């Protein structure tokens, strides 16, 4: 492998670590379902680069990839490194378009060093934003919030908006974008009193509740006495049923995720009050962020501007060390994180 710039050569260890899926979880993932394995550090071939990963993303959707069978994305292969977003520094390059020292976003996370096809590596600028931001507020979760709210739910000025999972990466951004785009009232739910305080005191939600403190239906009715026009669903289950129950005429529900059922071995029955969609002329639409990358330039312009002006805030929960990446992933599913969960490597 030959560095393409004059940067000082970065020592490449002969071996490095990667997380493998070794068994498909049944219900909640267990430590015995995965293994952190030491393997030969791969070498880049023609058109490839070697990336020293600095930050790894662990996300709820990865739970689905641990199951057998394809959904909208392939299942993780057994006894192979798992995949996911990561940002890192290029330390060797066999491609003219990517230089040693460049920082790139790519999809071969869960490992310390990755050989990435140069065409699949997106250059990012660490001087414009901290590298980890490209995994969250300026990355996939940020675009999910932006596209889900503005394009799928068709947010309008004056709407009352309800966001579940509101202290998480997607939810905290969705709620703030709603406020910045002229929603009349933004309501959020989260799983602890501390997170609820964050929503109103730091992110500017008008009202928030702890969904563990009572019936979601009653808590939502109290927070939104005049009903809701938009529901941004990260959770499913009783949150979705409550949102349908509070939906106003021509209300829109964007189904982003249903984290409350990701570890269920049998799916619970769906919302009992679907007939309410008839009288409200309501609409429920699922979406995948991957279908909305055409919004990326507009997203970066809007979100970049709000970050610079301080109108949009974000938090990260940072776990240090690749050996803790699986715990960090479980932490996302459990609700240990506030904002985007990031695994930072040494
Ligand atoms: P978060 O940062 O929001 O982390 C997940 C949060 O979900 C936890 O912190 C926890 O917070 C909450 N949670 C866990 N279990 C439950 C439960 N049973 N009921 C209610 N809340 C629960 O993750 P992301 O922002 O990355 O993702 C949010 C959602 O968006 C997920 O459902 C994810 O799958 C989905 N998603 C969808 C995409 C798409 O393209 N459609 C793309 C990206 C994400 P708390 O303490 O509040 O319980």
Parse the chain into domains and list their residue ranges: 3-136+314-344, 145-290
Lowest mean pLDDT among 84-88, 128-132, 267-271: 267-271
188 lines ligand 1 (CB under 6 A): no
Per-residue pLDDT of 230-263, as tens digits, reads 999 999 999 999 999 999 999 999 999 999 999 9
Compute the distance between CA of residue 282 and CA of residue 309 in angstroms, rounded to an integer.
35
Determine the distance separating the centroid of ligand 1 and the alpha carbon of 169, expressed in angstroms. 8
CB-based burial label for 272 (10 Å; 0-12, 13-18, 19+): exposed
The length of the chain in residues reads 346
**Closest C-alpha to ligand 1, atom 17:** 260
Per-residue pLDDT of 46-72, as tens digits, reads 999 999 999 999 999 999 999 998 788
**CATH classification of 3-136+314-344 is 3.90.180.10, yes or no?**
yes
171 lines ligand 1 (CB under 6 A): yes
Report pLDDT for 3.
Answer: 45
Report pLDDT for 70.
Answer: 79
Determine the distance separating the centroid of ligand 1 and the alpha carbon of 165, expressed in angstroms. 5
- Can you tell me which atom of ligand 1 is nearest the CA of 141? 43
Q: Mark 304-337 as b/e (b = at least 16 C-beta within 10 Å).
A: eebbeeeebbbbbbebeebeebbebbebbbebeb
Q: Choose one of 29, 144, 234, 268 to mutate for the ligand 1 pocket test, by most ligand atoms within 8 angstroms of C-beta.
A: 234
- Mean pLDDT, to the nearest integer, of 142-157? 98
Residue 4 confidence class, pLDDT cut points 50, 70, 90: very low
Compute the distance between CA of residue 113 and CA of residue 100 in angstroms, rounded to an integer.
14
Determine the distance separating the centroid of ligand 1 and the alpha carbon of 118, expressed in angstroms. 31
Nearest to 132 by CA among 298, 339, 310, 323: 339
- Mean pLDDT, to the nearest integer, of 19-45? 97
Other C-beta atoms closer than 10 Å to the C-beta of 108 total: 24
- Can you tell me which atom of ligand 1 is nearest the CA of 341? 2
CATH of segment(s) 145-290: 3.40.50.720
49 lines ligand 1 (CB under 6 A): no
Distance from chain centroid for Cα 319: 16
191 lines ligand 1 (CB under 6 A): yes
Question: Collapsing DSSP states into helix, strand and coil, what is residue 209?
Answer: strand
- Can you tell me which atom of ligand 1 is nearest the CA of 211? 20
- Can you tell me which atom of ligand 1 is nearest the CA of 170? 25
- Can you tell me which atom of ligand 1 is nearest the CA of 339? 2
Determine the distance separating the centroid of ligand 1 and the alpha carbon of 337, expressed in angstroms. 10
Cα separation values, 270 from 50, 218, 237, 247, 258, Å: 46, 19, 7, 17, 12
Tokens of 141: 């979760």
Q: Whole-model pTM?
A: 0.97
> If you average pLDDT over every residue of the chain, what do you get?
96
101 lines ligand 1 (CB under 6 A): no
Residue 8 has pLDDT above 60, yes or no: no
Per-residue pLDDT of 165-213, as tens digits, reads 999 999 999 999 999 999 999 999 999 999 999 999 999 999 999 999 9
335 lines ligand 1 (CB under 6 A): yes
- Can you tell me which atom of ligand 1 is nearest the CA of 288? 40
């Amino acid at each position: 492998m030959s560095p393409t710039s004059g940067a000082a050569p970065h020592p490449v260890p002969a071996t490095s670590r990667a997380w493998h899926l070794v068994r498909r979880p049944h219900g909640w993932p267990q430590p015995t379902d995965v293994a952190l394995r030491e393997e030969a550090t791969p070498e880049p071939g023609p058109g490839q680069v070697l990336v020293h990963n600095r930050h790894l993303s662990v996300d709820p959707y990865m739970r689905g990839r641990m199951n057998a069978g394809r959904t909208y994305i392939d299942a993780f292969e057994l006894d192979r490194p798992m995949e996911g977003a990561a940002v890192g520094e290029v330390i060797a390059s066999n491609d003219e378009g990517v230089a040693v020292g460049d920082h790139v976003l790519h999809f071969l996370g869960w490992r310390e060093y990755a050989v990435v096809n140069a065409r699949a590596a997106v250059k990012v600028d660490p001087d414009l934003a901290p590298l980890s931001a490209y995994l969250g507020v300026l990355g996939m979760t940020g675009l999910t919030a932006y596209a889900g709210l503005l394009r799928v739910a068709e947010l309008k000025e004056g709407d009352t908006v309800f966001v579940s999972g509101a202290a998480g990466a997607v939810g905290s951004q969705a709620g703030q974008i709603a406020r910045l785009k002229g929603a009349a009232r933004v309501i959020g739910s989260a799983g602890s009193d501390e997170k609820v305080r964050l929503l109103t005191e730091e992110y500017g939600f008008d009202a928030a509740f702890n969904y563990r403190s009572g019936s979601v239906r009653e808590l939502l009715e109290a927070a939104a006495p005049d009903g809701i026009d938009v529901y941004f669903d990260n959770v499913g289950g009783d949150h979705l049923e409550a949102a349908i129950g509070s939906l106003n005429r021509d209300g829109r529900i964007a189904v982003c995720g249903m984290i409350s059922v990701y570890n269920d071995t049998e799916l619970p029955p769906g919302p009992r009050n679907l007939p309410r969609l008839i009288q409200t002329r309501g609409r429920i639409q699922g979406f995948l962020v991957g279908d909305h990358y055409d919004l990326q330039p507009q997203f970066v312009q809007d979100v970049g501007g709000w970050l610079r002006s301080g109108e949009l805030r974000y938090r990260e929960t940072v776990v240090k060390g690749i050996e803790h990446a699986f715990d960090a992933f479980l932490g996302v599913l459990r609700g240990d994180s506030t904002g985007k969960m990031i695994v930072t490597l040494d």
